[in-house]
C-alpha cells in the first residue's frame, strides 16, 4: 500500500502524473544541453550533440539514439521559427520507484524547450561584475548533469551581491570556471584559462574562443590561476553558449580593465562573430 500527497491534497497513487516518479527529480539523474541559434541557424550542433553523448555514456544511460535527439532538436527549432533561440533539452534515466540503483529496463525521458534569447549586446558593451564562491561540486564536472545545486547556490550568491556570475574557486585556491560559464583572463597578449579536466565542463564556447584567440594571434595558456592573480589581469571575460563572450569589469568588488571591456576581449567578440555569420 502507498499513499501520496501533492501540496496539501492526497492523490491516489495510480492517478499521479508519471513526472512525479522521474529520477531526474528524485536524484538529478539525467544530463542536459543548452544550444543556441544565431539568425536562424543553430550554432555548433555537432559539438553539443557530441558532448551530450559523452554525458549520457558517463552516467550509463544506455539506448538513447543521439542521432534521433539531433533530429528532434532540428525539428523543434524549425517549428519554433525563432531566429535567436535558446534550445534546452535533457534526458533523464526514466521514471520508477525511488531506489538509488536502477533497473536497465527504465525508459529514458526526453524533454526540450525552446525560447527566445535575451539580447546580450548591452552586457557586451558595458561588461559585468563577478564575485567568487567556493567550488562545492563533485569530481565529474565534465558531465553536464542535472545535479546543479552547487551551481545554483553559487549563482544566487552572486545575484545577491549584484553580480552577473559566480567564479568558482576550488579547495586548493584555484579558479575552476563560472557557475554556468567558462572564465578567461588576459595578461598582455596571453589568454589564460583553466585546462580541460574532470573539474570543468568542456565548454563549447571555450573551444571557439580558443580558435578566435589563435586568429587574433594571442598566446594560449591553459593554466589555473588564483582569484588574487585574476584581479591583476589586464582583461577578464566569461564565455557561455547563450551569450558567447561577456567582458568582466569587476572581480570581487575590484575594478578590472579600467572598468570597461578590454581591447582584446572586444577583438575576440568580433572574431567570434565571424564563426556565427
Ligand atoms: N551552462 N561551465 C558550466 C558549469 C556551465 O554550466 C556552462 C554552460 C559552461 C559553458 O559551456 P558552453 O560554452 O558549452 O555553454 C561552462 C549552460 C548554458 C547552462 O547550464 O544553462
Mean pLDDT of the 108-119 span? 98
Mean pLDDT of the 102-110 span? 96
- Tell me the CATH number for domain 4-116: 3.30.470.10
Q: What is the pLDDT of residue 220?
A: 98
Cα-flanking dihedrals φ and ψ of residue 207, to 5°? -60, -45
Mean pLDDT of the 250-267 span? 97
Q: Which one from 144, 243, 250, 266 is the annotated catalytic residue?
A: 144
Confidence of residue 174 (pLDDT cuts 50, 70, 90): very high
Tell me which fold the domain 121-276 belongs to: D-amino Acid Aminotransferase; Chain A, domain 2 (3.20.10)
Q: Is position 126 annotated as part of the catalytic site?
A: no
- Candidates 181, 196, 209, 272: which one to mutate for ligand 1, based on the most atoms within 8 Å of Cβ? 181
Q: What is the pLDDT of residue 96?
A: 95
Mean pLDDT of the 42-58 span? 98
Cα 110 to Cα 98: distance, rounded to the nearest angstrom: 19
Q: What is the pLDDT of residue 230?
A: 98
The domain ranges of the chain are 4-116, 121-276
Q: What is the pLDDT of residue 196?
A: 98
What pLDDT, in 10s, does the model give residues 74-105? 999 999 999 999 999 999 999 999 999 999 99
Q: What is the pLDDT of residue 177?
A: 99
Cα 121 to Cα 143: distance, rounded to the nearest angstrom: 30
Sign of CA dihedral 81, 33, 203, 176: positive
Confidence of residue 245 (pLDDT cuts 50, 70, 90): very high
- 109 CB less than 6 Å from ligand 1? no
Residue nearest to atom 16 of ligand 1 (CA): 181
Instruction: Name the 3-class secondary structure at 30.
Output: strand
191 CB-contact burial (10 Å; exposed 0-12 / middle 13-18 / buried 19+): buried
Amino acid at each position: 500500500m502507498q499513499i501520496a500527497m501533492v501540496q496539501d491534497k492526497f492523490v491516489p497513487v495510480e492517478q499521479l502524473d508519471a513526472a512525479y516518479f522521474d529520477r531526474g527529480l528524485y536524484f538529478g539523474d539525467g544530463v542536459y544541453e543548452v544550444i543556441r541559434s544565431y539568425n536562424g541557424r543553430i550554432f555548433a550542433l555537432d559539438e553539443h550533440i557530441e558532448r551530450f553523448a559523452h554525458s549520457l555514456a558517463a552516467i550509463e544511460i544506455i539506448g538513447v539514439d543521439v542521432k534521433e535527439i539531433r533530429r528532434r532538436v532540428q525539428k523543434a527549432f524549425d517549428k519554433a521559427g525563432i531566429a535567436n533561440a535558446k534550445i534546452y533539452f535533457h534526458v533523464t534515466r526514466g521514471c520508477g520507484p525511488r531506489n538509488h540503483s536502477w533497473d536497465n529496463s527504465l525508459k529514458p525521458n526526453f524533454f526540450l524547450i525552446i525560447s527566445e534569447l535575451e539580447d546580450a549586446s548591452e552586457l557586451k558593451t558595458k561588461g559585468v561584475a563577478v564575485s567568487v564562491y567556493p567550488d562545492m561540486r563533485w569530481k565529474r564536472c565534465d558531465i553536464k548533469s542535472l545535479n546543479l545545486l552547487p551551481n545554483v547556490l553559487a549563482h544566487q550568491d552572486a545575484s545577491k551581491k549584484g553580480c552577473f556570475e559566480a567564479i568558482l574557486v576550488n579547495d586548493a585556491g584555484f579558479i575552476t570556471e563560472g557557475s554556468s560559464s567558462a572564465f578567461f583572463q588576459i595578461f598582455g597578449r596571453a589568454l589564460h584559462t583553466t585546462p580541460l579536466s574532470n573539474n570543468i565542463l568542456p565548454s563549447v564556447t571555450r573551444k571557439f574562443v580558443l580558435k578566435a584567440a589563435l586568429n587574433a594571434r594571442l598566446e594560449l595558456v591553459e593554466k589555473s590561476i588564483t582569484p588574487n592573480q585574476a584581479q591583476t589581469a589586464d582583461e577578464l571575460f566569461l564565455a557561455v553558449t547563450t551569450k558567447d563572450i561577456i567582458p568582466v569589469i569587476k572581480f570581487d568588488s575590484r575594478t578590472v580593465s579600467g572598468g570597461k571591456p578590454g581591447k582584446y576581449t572586444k577583438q575576440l567578440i568580433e572574431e567570434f562573430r565571424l564563426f556565427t555569420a
